[in-house]
Amino acid sequence: AAVPPRLPLLAAARQLAQDIAEKLQERNRCQRSGESSAKVNVAVRASLQSLREKIEQLKELLLRAVSARQITQLEGDRRQNLVDELLTRHKQLEASYRNEGPEPDVSRSSLMAGGAKRGITNPWLLEESEETRGLGFDELRQQQRRIIEEQDAGLDALSSIISRQKQMGQEIGNELDEQNEIIDDLTNLVESTDDRLRNQTRHVRLVDKKATSCG
């Protein structure tokens, strides 16, 4: 069966928890006045089962989102807090249903303010980011794909720059090798010319000496 979107499912679970709390107070009033509470008990039992199913669906949605990396770790933790709050509320309502806990609070702010009473930040009051608010799974997947494509494009551009720099380095190295070869050729040419000059100098001295002797 298709799993409903997360936000409507979350709102439905919160409303159902509120309805169960109201039904339990109605049942308790019937018991105190001696009236039959069988009909209310049946309704509460069915509602508790429905709430449990909705919580399981929320857990499944969260698992899918985390597995597909559609949300950040921070957003995953925030949504897990929401599920945990619902699980705690479900246990409280079940305990009240079995007459093992206090009468449930039916004020509409009770579920949303439960964390504030314990001196901690209440995750129900947190807002989704503007980037993901109201987006479905397909839209989130497209957004994630677009982000990955942008990152890939950036990596391709960086790779192109690095390749170009490598090519320039190789060209500079080749140019230096050619210049070194030219310097070596010039050095050899100078040495050869110097040798010829020495030979010519010796020849001139020899001719000069012979001329002097002949004179």
What is this structure's pTM?
0.47
Q: If pLDDT is split at 50, 70 and 90, which confidence band does 164 have?
A: confident
> What is the rounded end-to-end Cα distance, in angstroms, of the chain?
129
Separation of alpha carbons 17 and 73, rounded Å: 28
- Arithmetic mean of pLDDT, 4-11: 83
pLDDT for the residue numbered 138: 67
pLDDT for the residue numbered 124: 38
Q: If pLDDT is split at 50, 70 and 90, which confidence band does 111 have?
A: low
189 pLDDT higher than 50: yes
No. of H helices and E strands in the chain?
5, 0
pLDDT (tens digit, 9 = 90+) per residue, 17-45?
999 999 999 998 888 898 888 898 999 99
134 pLDDT higher than 70: no
Q: If pLDDT is split at 50, 70 and 90, which confidence band does 140 have?
A: low
- Arithmetic mean of pLDDT, 67-86: 89
Q: 1-100 belongs to which CATH class? A: mainly alpha
Please give the sequence-ordered ranges of beta strands (E in DSSP) within the chain, or none if there are none: none
Separation of alpha carbons 44 and 104, rounded Å: 13
Angle formed at CA 62 by CA 56 and CA 76, multiple of 5 degrees: 135
Place of tokens 């001719």: 207
pLDDT for the residue numbered 80: 92
